[in-house]
Amino acid sequence: MLDDSTVDPDLLLESAPWVRRLARSLVRDAHLAEDVAQEVMTAALVQPGAPSSPERLRGWLAGITRHLAWRARSRELERPARELRAARPEVDTGEALERLRVHHKLVEAVMSLNEPYRTAITLRYFDDLPPREIARRTGASPATARQHVSRGLAQLRERLDDDFGSRPTWVGALGGVLGAGPLAWYPIAKGALMGSKKIAVASGLAVAAAGVAGWFATRTSEIEFAPDVNHELARLDSLDALEAEHDAALHVSKSERAAIESSVAIPMLSVRVLAPDGQPVDADVLLTVAGELADRGLATARSGVQFEVRDEPGILLAYRQAFPVARLELSELTGTHDILLEPGAILAGVLVEDGHVPRWPIELTLITSAPHLAGLGDSAVRALEQLGAPGAEQRVVTGGAGDFQYAGLTADCKPRIQLPYTHGFSAPPDGGPILSVSEHRASLAAPAEGLRVRVTRLPGIRGRIVWKDTHEPVPGVSLMAWAEFVDDATSSSYGFTGQADGTFAIGLWSSSLSDRARWQTAELRPAIRVLRLRIESGGALLAREIRFSYEELADDCFVGDVEVERGRAAYFLVRGPSGEPVAGALVRADGSTVQTDVDGRVVLGGLQEAPDFAVVGARGYGI
């Protein structure tokens, strides 16, 4: 039974063509390359420690392929007269009839699958298409395509169990049909020529089904290999031990081995990542082409990381925790390159809220320049975010003592600390080179440790927007708040947006600039007399304005769940005199104005009732 840490056969099958191409480039003999490819796939199935991600699987397979290619090449040099491929034994009539019977059973089993599983199995194993291509052809997502293949295989196993009586029986029968394994059948499937189109499809499905059976049969616990096969698998269990054994048998010297390896070398883009002191270190490396992520891998201190050569420009990005992202631009993605990491600077300190440790954790945002992101697309930026690499904005939550830290900054950056809108600076931060301070933001000339950030919790409101009928949270609601205070002062009106979970929070400043200094000290600030919260209409949301009194805001400005009702929506399609859609037309109805999209369409939501009329106007068309 295969170990749980072995490679996923589906991912391995996707890499089979690539392994063949690499083997051919290494040994430069088509027949010998096919033998090497089959050995690689067999070894990969039983070798523990296989990567689980498709991005790193190729590098792992490349190492196995080089080992076994060297082994095959050295055998060829030691015994040049040896035949590269052994002749297949004669097959008697009984064996041929048995193979035809098994083929027939496989055809029936595949053809009896329900859709979409029959199509998924056929495309996956007959046409040798990866799940993403199956998804494109069938209109499904890649995850759904994989699920269809997986469920189709499960149904196929059940049918074969019924047809042959037990799983060991059909596993053994298929083993006899497959011979050297599924890789040997793919050229036969691709080269099958039949007189009838119907027969050709059936024959192709038979060969494809045989390939399928070969793959999932090896995943069952009941499979029993012949003694010689078991012996070979045991020898392949440790590639390093096998290579050492072969070295001893052939008495290959280091110089001879170096000559062999150089003769089978394949050009690769090799990358090492160096610490500021010049020593190689482990680091994640991303390869981007035209700004988008093309490949990724983990560079180790011992051997770096290798990528396929590309005859086009690209960018290498290296990230190691606590260091800034390093960037190397190349005109051609080939050769050997070192990426030198810069020393990482730290910004750290402690936050004090109204003279005390914060009552709850406070999320701070650090805004910095990010030159390594220049020209990168969404896929590359997302990959860096997944690694935890610093970007243009970094968020951190204060610890129990109000402490915070940002690492991996460049020494010459000019960071800005952004407070949440529930807080404001009560004084400029101490302990660092401060450039400027506004209500919610402080700019520093350079990263610094030992900062003391003094803030005040502003009077305001916080809560959650939920639907009245289902009590489910309403995400991304547009809100506006303003307040009157007991000394008759008023705040400015603040517009803000709720979170994805429906929660919202806002703090209010006095509208009078002369009161700002007084507002920074909690003891001098007047209390709120009344606060108004306006929930803007949008989509299905009905606009609502709510008035909260001093008593309702007394519990730390928390008002709990705020219920909203669903409104109606009116749909408009604006066309010109000739029936052409008009983009950018303004539609005003029920006091709201919206603009049409490129197709002349627009939705006006949050209505109490359907509007009686609408006013429409567009440049060049009039009203």
**pLDDT digit string (tens) for 65-122?**
777 777 776 666 555 444 433 444 454 566 666 666 766 777 778 878 888 888 888 8
Asked whether residue 97 falls in the same domain as residue 218, the answer is: yes
Tokens standing for 45?
A: 């199935």
For the stretch 212-240, pLDDT in tens is 444 333 333 333 333 443 444 444 344 44
Q: What is the pLDDT of residue 264?
A: 44
Name the DSSP class of 344. Answer: P
Give the span between the Cα atoms of 298 and 59, in whole angstroms: 10
Residue range 464-469: average pLDDT?
90
The reported pLDDT for the residue numbered 443 is 93
Residues 73 and 196 grouped into a single domain: no
Residue 104 shares a structural domain with residue 215? yes
User: Do residues 481 and 594 share a domain?
Assistant: no
**202 and 159 within one domain:** yes
Portion of the chain with pLDDT greater than 90, in percent: 21
Distance CA 538, CA 594 (A): 11
Q: Is the pLDDT of residue 404 over 90?
A: yes
Helices and strands of the chain, counted as H and E runs = 15, 28
Residue 623 lies in a domain: no
Residues 312 and 362 grouped into a single domain: no
Between residues 88 and 383, the one the model is more confident about:
383
Do 170 and 209 lie in one domain? The reply is yes
Q: How far apart are CA 481 and CA 465, in angstroms?
A: 14
CA 522 – CA 533 distance, rounded (Å): 23
Same domain, 354 and 315: no
Higher pLDDT, 258 or 430: 430
Residue 1 within any structural domain of the chain: no
Residue 383 inside a domain? The answer is yes
Domain boundary among 216, 240, 263: 263
Tell me the C-alpha distance between 440 and 423, whole Å. Answer: 7
Domain that holds residue 273: 268-340
Closest to 473 (Cα-Cα) out of 571, 384, 562, 555: 562
Regarding whether 195 and 115 lie in a shared domain, the answer is yes
For residues 478 and 544, the answer to whether their CB atoms sit within 8 Å is no
Last residue in a domain, options 317, 340, 363: 340
Q: Is the pLDDT of residue 259 over 60?
A: no
355 in the same domain as 327: no
pLDDT at 247 over 70: no
601 within a domain of the structure (yes/no): yes
Length of the chain: 623
Same domain, 99 and 217: yes
Residue 2 is assigned to a structural domain of this protein: no
What is residue 362's predicted lDDT score, i.e. its pLDDT?
Answer: 93
Answer whether 480's CB lies under 8 Å from 465's CB.
no
Residue 174 has pLDDT above 90, yes or no: no
User: What does the pLDDT read at residue 107?
Assistant: 74
* 354: region left, alpha or beta (phi > 0 left; psi from -120 to 50 alpha): left
Which of 263, 225, 260 minimizes the C-alpha distance to 243? 260
Proportion of the chain above pLDDT 70, given as a percent: 73
Query: Is residue 255 located within the same domain as residue 325?
Result: no
pLDDT computed for residue 249 by the predictor: 41
| pLDDT score of 363 | 93
pTM of the predicted structure, to 2 decimals: 0.52
pLDDT value at residue 453: 93
What are 50's two structure tokens? 């296989």
210, 242, 263: which is the final residue of a domain?
A: 263
Across the beta sheet with 592-595, the strand order is 592-595, 586-589, 615-617
Number of domains present in the structure of the chain: 6
Mean pLDDT of 54-72: 74
| Predicted local distance difference test score (pLDDT) of residue 364 | 94
Angle 406-412-418 from CA coordinates, rounded to 5°: 45
For residues 168-179, average pLDDT: 55
User: Would residue 488 count as lying in a domain?
Assistant: yes
Inform me whether the pLDDT recorded for 210 exceeds 80: no
- Of 7-16, 263-272, 355-364, 505-514, which has the strongest mean pLDDT? 355-364
